[in-house]
Amino acid sequence: MKKDFMFTSESVTEGHPDKLCDQISDAIVDRFLQQDPYARVITECAVATGIVFLAARFEPSANVDFTNVARQVIDKVGYEHTEFNGRTCSILTSLSELPPEKELAFDESKLSDEEIERIPVKNQATVFGFACNQTDVLMPLPIWLAHKLAKRISEVRRENILSYLTPDGKTQVGVEYRNRRPYRIHSLTVIASQNKAKYPDLEQLRQDIYETVVKPVFESEEIKPDEQTRIFINPDGQFIRGGPASHSGLTGRKNAIDTYGEYAQHSGSALSGKDPIRIDRVGAYAARYAAKNIVAAGIADECEVQLSYSIGIARPVSIQAETFGTGKISDEEITKLLEKHFDFRLAGIIKQFNLRNLPSLQKGGFYRKLAAYGQVGRVDMDLPWEKTDKVGVF
């Protein structure tokens, strides 16, 4: 296993076309669950110049205006371009009904353990959760810093600090590791889009972004850019307008950004656009919960938890823990503790995290907010899978 290496992770702003699609898909999920906590819905979105395409399958238990939800998200994100905005974009839909499945309309809060055991998953999936002690939130440092930079770009735009910015943006952070610990910032890249080519010029943009984005982000960080750090701000030149008019977007195309920035494994399945009955979504949250509690308990410096599910079976057919040589006890012992103290069954996960009711309990919905800047490792949302209330079992 390598001990000295350099690793990069990227993030994007909520205005990036792929993230716009994730937010539209999850806003639709929110709307369904707000009307009916037992609603089943799967939604995918694609965007391009002036066009939004929605494909959805759902049980007709709620009345949701897909077009209106999409326009609201586009407006909230801040797209006002002539080429793409919430008022004039064309929205195409392909909607179909899911057959009713009464066995999935269970009230998990009233289920006994035996009843939870009788509720199988309906799709096959292998999901991963990861945690490490590189940051206070137990996330890898590269993706943590990339998210901070991306969020800061959006903040200076929304707060009108840099009024010429548009919603689309991208960041990347490279961290040099020594003995598998973050040692220094090797490089960082920020790409910001602007309204017009004439103002500001490229040099002014670079100076503005450095002063208002890069410097504030690293003020509170222990490891900061040094004299050798390579800093790139719009290295390809000006990025005019950005958004769907410049490059298309699709739900689920930023899985690494949703999870661990490729520092750890992640499922190939999209997280956004699915109600909580989908194990490929909620299983990833349960795996993160397990991995985070292991690291928080001091059992390992880093841990990856793998859960494999097969259709028709309630429990994972495989549970694996990997601590990459950092475990204080063996990986086999950790796996046994996970099997004993964590509930990885579908209904058990939904019950513990209250996943069907969160959109109604949180103002402005829940899953749409989760769709940008990572679905794990958040400090701006009260996520049940980020709690470390299981450290006592280790």
CATH architecture assigned to 110-134+278-393: 2-Layer Sandwich (3.30)
pLDDT band at 1; cut points 50, 70, 90: low
Across 84-204, the runs of DSSP E, i.e. the strands, are 90-97, 125-132, 165-178, 181-194
Q: What is the pLDDT of residue 100?
A: 85
pLDDT band at 48; cut points 50, 70, 90: very high
Q: What is the pLDDT of residue 62?
A: 87
Q: What is the pLDDT of residue 332?
A: 97
Q: Is the pLDDT of residue 299 over 80?
A: yes
Q: What is the fold of 5-12+141-242?
A: GMP Synthetase; Chain A, domain 3 (3.30.300)
**Side chain identity at 368, as an amino acid letter?**
R
pLDDT band at 61; cut points 50, 70, 90: confident
pLDDT band at 268; cut points 50, 70, 90: confident
Q: What is the mean pLDDT of the chain?
A: 96
pLDDT band at 316; cut points 50, 70, 90: very high
The three-class DSSP label of residue 372 is coil
Alpha-carbon distance of 34 to 52, in angstroms, equals 23
pLDDT digits (tens, 9 = 90+) for 324-343: 999 999 999 999 999 999 99
Q: Residues 5, 186: contact at Cβ < 8 Å?
A: no
Omega before 200 cis (within 30°)? yes
Q: Is the pLDDT of residue 350 over 90?
A: yes
The three-class DSSP label of residue 364 is coil
Greater model confidence, 17 or 104? 17
Q: What is the pLDDT of residue 198?
A: 85
Q: Is the pLDDT of residue 216 over 70?
A: yes
Token digits of residue 354 = 């209250």
Q: Residues 372, 23: contact at Cβ < 8 Å?
A: yes
CATH 3.30.300.10 boundaries in the chain: 5-12+141-242, 110-134+278-393
Q: Is the pLDDT of residue 170 over 80?
A: yes
Q: Is the pLDDT of residue 97 over 70?
A: yes
pLDDT digits (tens, 9 = 90+) for 104-158: 888 999 999 999 999 999 999 999 999 999 999 999 999 999 999 999 999 999 9
- For β-strands 125-132 and 302-309, DSSP reports them as antiparallel
Q: Is the pLDDT of residue 60 over 90?
A: no
The three-class DSSP label of residue 124 is coil
Q: Is the pLDDT of residue 40 over 80?
A: yes
- Region at 122 (left for phi over 0; alpha for psi -120 to 50; beta for the rest): alpha
Q: Residues 245, 10: contact at Cβ < 8 Å?
A: no
pLDDT band at 102; cut points 50, 70, 90: confident
